[in-house]
Structure 1
């Protein structure tokens, strides 16, 4: 049985919580969490350290609220979706008729990597709709840029406010529409320099060797291996599903390596590509899903004459 604002709703009940002060956040979070505990529902907090401490101090010490450590689920969007789906399925298997989660994306996600977190917020409307989930996504308006807040309202069907209101978002856009839109991406400053490597129509093996051969020791060994996996999948997809020529470019900085792979095609048709696994039917969706889990940022860029996938290993939170 569904309870609270989600009573009578089937599937995912997804709300944004734009708040202007700690008091406003608590005014929304505490009734949500304590209501879930009173109803015997799995009730979860997935906040960063500061916000989690604020909420933890406000709920009774013996309450059955689960605090996930440090917002760990929000490592990468595709990883977050996979982890949440596993957790939600576990609760349902235990008999949960509603699950409550309140969380926030990392503060760093509001900058250079917001594009793929915006895609995440849109995609989960579909990805979690088979679960009896009521979730709230909190955004501190004191630190959230206006364009990000606009995306938040477009990717959340509903908004919860400190005065107890639960209202539809006037600008909500269905995921298949939102995810199909082209949006401006922040160029990484490294890309204004000459690439260390440029290859045309490389084999996946050549692309892998290029990554290994140009690593200046900037990244950890596991980060290099993850990038090699992502590069191999990306070049394979471009050769198999794109249009020639396939162009490979690599840049290296003090804290990151960037690889851009372009081809003359239009990119994947699936609006959920990268965030959700596609069936292994030769459409290239599974390889892109692997790539999204292997890099710290992945961007799409559709131009009239080319589709480009940009992969970032290391620190993606560059300064403009």
Structure 2
């Protein structure tokens, strides 16, 4: 979902969700935050390549917030039934519609422009809300339900 509205809504995490991380960050916290996301995503049920892909997608979003969104941002990570969701928000000037609408893979020799493309490719869902007051990107990855994970381990 792309919405060029001037106000960036802040997330309301559904009651049935489990909030894992809610943290503001700047350049100094990027590495530590990536490690926290890795630990929480693993505990929530992502493993192997799915875990690596999700963490890389999140890393691209937090790096974009620092580079293009005013130098800082906020991250929320939560688990809801069947899905791990991460939302990264910043207070930059927004993303142009042309940039958001271009879903083509960047040219291999392109130095920038990979972040949103990678996040979209490496997650199951992606929504972007952007405007003059900032950008919020939400990605999701399907995970097995808690009950199912527990039964699978017991088998």
Pair in the same fold by TM > 0.5: yes
The one of 184, 192, 200 aligned to 2:14: 192
TM-align CA RMSD: 2.9
The one of 228, 234, 237 aligned to 2:55: 228
Give the SS at the match of 2:120.
helix
TM-score, normalised by the number of residues in structure 1 = 0.36
Residue 30 of structure 2 corresponds to which residue in structure 1? 204
Residue 214 of structure 1 corresponds to which residue in structure 2? 40
Instruction: Summarize deviations over 1:118-172 as a string: whole Å, max 9, x none.
Output: xxxxxxxxxxxxxxxxxxxxxxxxxxxxxxxxxxxxxxxxxxxxxxxxxxxxxxx
Residue 139 of structure 2 corresponds to which residue in structure 1? 311
5+ residue gaps, structure 1: 1-114, 116-178, 316-320
Partners of 1:242 and 1:293 in 2: CA distance? 21
**Greater fraction strand:** 2
Structure with greater contact order relative to length (CA < 8 Å, sep ≥ 6)? 2
5+ residue gaps, structure 2: 144-155
**Matches of residues 201-280 of structure 1 in structure 2 within 5 Å?**
201-202=25-26, 203-215=29-41, 216-269=43-96, 271-273=98-100, 275-278=103-106, 280=110
TM-score, normalised by the number of residues in structure 2 = 0.69
- Give yes or no for contact 1:298–1:311 (8 Å, CA) kept in 2: yes
Partners of 1:230 and 1:191 in 2: CA distance? 20
Instruction: Summarize deviations over 1:162-205 as a string: whole Å, max 9, x none.
Output: xxxxxxxxxxxxxxxxx7x538xxx9x98224732112125332
- Give yes or no for contact 2:69–2:91 (8 Å, CA) kept in 1: yes
Tell me how many residue pairs correspond in the alignment. Answer: 131
